[in-house]
Amino acid sequence: MILQGAVSLGVDGMERLISDLKAAVLGALGSGGAEPARCPRCGCAAVARRGRTSSGAQRWACRGCGRTFTAATGRVLSLSRLGAATWSSYVEGMVAGESLRALASRCGVCLKTSWFMRMRVLEVMRSQLQPMRHGEGVSAQADELYLNESLSGNRDRARVAMPREPHRNGHGVRAHGISSLKVAVVTVVNDLGDCTAEAVGRGRPTADEVRSGIAPADVSGSSVSTDALAAYAAPLAEAGAAAHNRYGSGEAGEDELGMVNALHERLRGFLWRFRGVATRRLQRYLWWFRWEEQARRSDATREGMLRAHVANGRYESRRRDLEDEPQPFWGYWDARRPSISTVV
């Protein structure tokens, strides 16, 4: 009877019904009804019931910090002035690959708010990333990808001067291969489909940079294959890798480093959609890429997964935190032109 009634609404009526149902489900997921395990502010596990809010939601009191909260405190929906229907529409457009301007038009917000909403969603994606599987019988491959540094972005608040002329429409980058003008991204992928990607520094990574790059990837007990870069040896041994297979440029074939090379191709294609990602935000987009790789292995739709994640997810950065986020790997420019690093 419900389906027959929905069909009688016509196309426009069914579209409104679907939109309203999505918003209702998203709001229900974001309201939260289970008893919280700990305080969302200080992490204390000692909580007690403390009445209800005007909307009827259960209020809790933390015995650690003394503040009250509800099950929705700290979630994206509870901290946003935009309604659940707006976030549902934004998630739908984001999964469809719409630009920031198209998302702003879809949700009736300004371009800056659309960008900030994307940053929030990316932090939620990071919180939903699953750890890499490892152990005996699991083989992994690690390698570095070099991307052009991008200094794009609004610098009015940070007051950071440009150390070079801008690269118009992607032109002007004359460095090829390994260069200090490129950012190294250390990637790790295993034969189960798990992967990590971390921006670690400029040019050829050092042992410390490799160590930070493979830290999110648990490779203990796994056999790891890399290129001939010597910087991988010590970090992989410290991480507990069962074996470390090194291959030179002429030795590495499809069986040796094929998985990580294919991952690099997918990562380049993913970043190309945005026509340039600022290096200052690069790591956030790497979280997005990892989430996409993870979603590929799920039976659920990406839209459904992301809608549930946004409803229950939390984020850390405030708007001002994002605007004041420093440019990474800036020491290279400071060493060459110290006088232009900051405008007084």
Region 294-305: mean pLDDT is: 83
Out of 102-116, 288-302, 325-339, pick the least confident: 325-339
pLDDT at 165: 78
pLDDT bucket at 195, cuts 50 / 70 / 90: very high
CA distance 88 to 311: 9
- Is the model more confident about 285 or about 334? 285
- Is the model more confident about 220 or about 249? 220
pLDDT, averaged across the chain: 82
- For the record, the structure tokens of 10 come out as 């016509």
Has residue 303 got a pLDDT over 60?
yes
Nearest to 222 by CA among 189, 256, 260, 254: 189
Terminal Cα distance for the chain, rounded: 69
pLDDT at 175: 67
Nearest to 91 by CA among 301, 268, 289: 301
CA distance 330 to 328: 5
Query: How large a percentage of the chain has pLDDT more than 90?
Result: 40
Asked if 64 and 44 touch (Cβ cutoff 8 Å), the reply is yes
Query: Which residue reads 């800056």 in tokens?
Result: 112
Q: How do residues 49-95 score in pLDDT, each as one tens digit?
A: 888 877 677 888 888 888 888 766 666 766 678 877 888 889 989 98
- For the record, the structure tokens of 53 come out as 């809010």
Sorted by sequence, the CB contacts under 8 Å of residue 299 that are 6+ apart come out as none
Asked if 42 and 64 touch (Cβ cutoff 8 Å), the reply is yes
pLDDT bucket at 281, cuts 50 / 70 / 90: very high
pLDDT at 341: 45
The one-letter amino acid code at 26 reads L
CA distance 156 to 2: 54
- Is the model more confident about 46 or about 343? 46
Nearest to 236 by CA among 224, 249, 252, 248: 224
pLDDT bucket at 163, cuts 50 / 70 / 90: confident
pLDDT bucket at 115, cuts 50 / 70 / 90: very high
pLDDT bucket at 302, cuts 50 / 70 / 90: confident
- For the record, the structure tokens of 23 come out as 């918003």
| Global confidence as pTM | 0.80
Asked if 69 and 41 touch (Cβ cutoff 8 Å), the reply is yes
pLDDT at 151: 85
Q: How do residues 2-17 score in pLDDT, each as one tens digit?
A: 555 555 666 666 666 5
**Three-state SS at 309:** helix
Asked if 188 and 142 touch (Cβ cutoff 8 Å), the reply is yes
Q: Which residues of 41-65 are buried (b: 16+ CB within 10 A; e: fewer)?
A: eeeeeebeeeeeeeeebbebbbeee
pLDDT at 344: 34
Has residue 327 got a pLDDT over 60?
yes
Nearest to 308 by CA among 25, 18, 20, 17: 25
Distance of CA 86 to the CA centre of its chain: 21
Q: Are strands 139-148 and 223-227 parallel, antiparallel or unpaired?
A: parallel
* Residue 81 DSSP code: S
Region 241-265: mean pLDDT is: 84
- For the record, the structure tokens of 127 come out as 């919180």
- Is the model more confident about 287 or about 42? 287
pLDDT at 54: 74
Nearest to 71 by CA among 88, 47, 87: 47
**Three-state SS at 301:** coil
Q: What is the phi/psi pair of residue 206, to 5°?
A: -85, 175
